[in-house]
């Protein structure tokens, strides 16, 4: 592959045409002398990441606030691949790409409810780096390293710290846990970024996971295609396709990140039969506008990527200045649903602080209901009535389940509200509920035990 003669990116943000007639993102001028072979080598990109004020000053006009951020004590690691540095908005400190990767002094400002581990992942880790939050799937953190570091990172407590990286022994324990837990049918490899791990190690992990009989699929969450599209080589795709069903979620926040290089990387992955999804984070000043989100989802689906989640920004330290009200997310979904293809609309979620998992949030579409009818509104404000069946609704559960391959799993307390809807339980009680409502009947509480979550229906 060859790249066009180098152009000073201080004057250009549009792609340039290379001598091979492909489009390329302009390179920062400081890399003018780098041969194309090196520029297109992901290892060279990783080894030459930008992380100093001196280097950044040669690429963009740094503001005082950015200088302050870069010099802050205890700074969450800042590293930017030379390729991605070509997307930095040179003279716009509010540029959507620049704000995601250049530190600001505002990172040091504390806010109410700020946490280091806002999703309480550490408490859900039976072995280091393995998070078992949901009944049938686990998150497997295989590295703390990334190609470039996002200023709002949820795992900034460990990400970027090479001394905290996961070892072969950690990987062994993670895999052993999955092997010993037959309820786990889905594993998500994340980090850090799994695609920066040495190819032989990554393949070894995928191979060992694919040999676990009860594991039905493997997922990878990666921002490498965005920060380092050079890593998406034919060899990588040939290796990944050996471990199907394998899904991959990328992480694009703004349409400007969808460059010709990223498009080609996504095409390679899709051609390898890998279903692609996108997770983005709602970030103040970056993508908190319905029109930005509309352009983003349209560009994603053109690249065969299904918008999957739009996350509310977590309550993580360092990310306070990126947070928006939840109402902004609802406004965005209101502007997408019905206004564009259904599969282009992501699910907007709040990842519950304290480890409650993802909670979908959306506009209200059920306006009212009456006997045998539900009143609904559509995206235009058209209000209609859906008439329900007149006959009482019954369901033959035994017949329904007769042809399933897998017996129903017992999720215990994690059945949650679904357990109420199906009649397994009648109530869910907050801790201390019994005591508060059995005043003076301590003997009764002790007799029944302190079942503080679910109460049997019977």
Which H helix or E strand runs over 37?
A: helix 36-39
Is 219 one of the catalytic residues? Answer: no
What gap in Å lies between CA 62 and CA 92, rounded to an integer?
A: 9
CA distance to 18, 30, 330, 422, 425, per residue, from 455 (Å): 67, 66, 34, 14, 6
Within 10 angstroms of residue 196's Cβ, the number of other Cβ atoms is 21
Is 150 one of the catalytic residues? Answer: yes
CB of 15 to ligand SF4, least distance (A): 23
Is 358 one of the catalytic residues? Answer: yes
Contact 223, 265 (CB under 8 A): no
CB of 115 to ligand SF4, least distance (A): 16
Q: Which of 98, 117, 146, 311 is catalytic?
A: 146
Is 237 one of the catalytic residues? Answer: no
Sheet holding 305-312, edge to edge: 130-134, 137-141, 186-190, 217-221, 246-250, 276-282, 305-312, 347-352, 357-360
Task: Give the residue with the Cβ less far from ligand SF4, 150 or 297.
Answer: 150
What gap in Å lies between CA 62 and CA 91, rounded to an integer?
A: 8
Task: Give the residue with the Cβ less far from ligand SF4, 34 or 252.
Answer: 252
Structure tokens at 228: 């380092």
Q: Which of 49, 98, 153, 268 is catalytic?
A: 153
CB of 153 to ligand SF4, least distance (A): 3
Q: Kindly give the interhelix angle for 326-336 and 290-302, rounded to the nearest 10 degrees.
A: 50
Task: Give the residue with the Cβ less far from ligand SF4, 84 or 425.
Answer: 84
Task: Give the residue with the Cβ less far from ligand SF4, 159 or 246.
Answer: 159
CB of 253 to ligand SF4, least distance (A): 10
Q: How far from each other are the two terminal CA atoms of the chain, in whole angstroms?
A: 69
Q: Which of 150, 185, 193, 256 is catalytic?
A: 150
Task: Give the residue with the Cβ less far from ligand SF4, 222 or 263.
Answer: 222
Is 313 one of the catalytic residues? Answer: no
What gap in Å lies between CA 136 and CA 414, rounded to an integer?
A: 11
CB of 314 to ligand SF4, least distance (A): 10
User: Which residues of the shown chain bind ligand SF4 in the complex (CB under 6 A)?
Assistant: 146, 149-150, 153, 155, 159, 191-193, 223
Non-local (6+) Cβ contacts of 57 within 8 A are: none
CB of 275 to ligand SF4, least distance (A): 20
SS3 letters for 404-433? CCCCCCCCHHHHHHHHHHCCCEEEECCCCH
Task: Give the residue with the Cβ less far from ligand SF4, 24 or 149.
Answer: 149
Is 314 one of the catalytic residues? Answer: yes
Closest to 212 (Cα-Cα) out of 238, 188, 182, 190: 182
| Catalytic residue numbers, as ranges | 133-134, 137, 146, 150, 153, 155, 314, 351, 358
């Amino acid at each position: 592959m060859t790249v066009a003669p180098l152009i000073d990116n201080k004057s250009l943000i549009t792609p340039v045409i290379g001598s091979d007639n492909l489009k390329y993102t302009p390179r920062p001028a400081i890399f003018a002398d780098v041969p194309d072979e090196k520029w297109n080598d992901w290892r060279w990109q990783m080894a030459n990441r930008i992380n100093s004020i001196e280097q950044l000053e040669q690429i963009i006009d740094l503001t005082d606030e950015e200088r302050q951020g870069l010099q802050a004590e205890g700074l969450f690691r800042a590293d930017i691949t030379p390729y991605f540095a070509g997307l930095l908005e040179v003279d716009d400190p509010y540029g959507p790409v620049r704000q995601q990767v250049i530190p600001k002094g505002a990172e040091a400002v504390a806010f109410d409810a700020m946490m280091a581990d806002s999703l309480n992942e550490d408490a859900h880790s039976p072995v280091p780096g393995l998070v078992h939050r949901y009944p049938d799937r686990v998150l497997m953190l295989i590295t703390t390293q990334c190609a470039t570091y996002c200023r709002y990172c949820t795992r900034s407590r460990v990400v970027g710290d090479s001394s905290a990286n996961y070892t072969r022994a950690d990987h062994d324990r993670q895999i052993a846990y999955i092997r010993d837990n037959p309820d786990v049918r889905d594993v998500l490899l994340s980090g850090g970024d799994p695609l920066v791990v040495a190819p032989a190690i990554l393949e070894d992990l995928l191979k060992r996971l694919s040999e676990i009989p009860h594991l039905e699929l493997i997922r990878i969450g990666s921002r490498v295609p965005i920060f380092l599209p050079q890593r998406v080589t034919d060899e990588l795709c040939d290796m990944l396709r050996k471990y199907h069903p394998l899904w991959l979620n990328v992480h694009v926040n703004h349409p400007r990140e969808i460059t010709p290089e990223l498009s080609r990387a996504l095409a390679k992955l899709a051609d390898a039969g890998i279903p692609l999804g996108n997770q983005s984070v709602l970030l103040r000043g970056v993508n908190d506008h319905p029109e930005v989100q509309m352009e983003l989802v349209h560009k994603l689906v053109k690249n065969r990527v299904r918008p999957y989640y739009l996350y509310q920004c977590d309550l993580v330290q360092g990310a306070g200045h990126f947070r928006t009200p939840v109402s902004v997310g609802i406004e965005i979904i209101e502007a997408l649903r019905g206004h564009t293809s259904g599969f282009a609309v992501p699910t907007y979620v709040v990842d519950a602080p304290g480890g409650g998992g993802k909670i979908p949030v959306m506009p209200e579409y059920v306006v009212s209901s009456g006997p045998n009818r539900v009143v609904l509104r559509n995206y235009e404000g058209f209000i209609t009535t859906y008439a329900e069946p007149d006959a009482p609704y019954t369901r033959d559960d035994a017949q329904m389940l007769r042809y399933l391959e897998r017996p129903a799993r017992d999720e215990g307390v994690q059945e949650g509200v679904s357990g109420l809807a199906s009649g397994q339980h009648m109530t869910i009680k907050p801790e201390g509920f019994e005591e508060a409502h059995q005043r003076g009947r301590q003997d009764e509480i002790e007799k029944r035990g302190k079942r503080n979550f679910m109460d049997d229906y019977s």
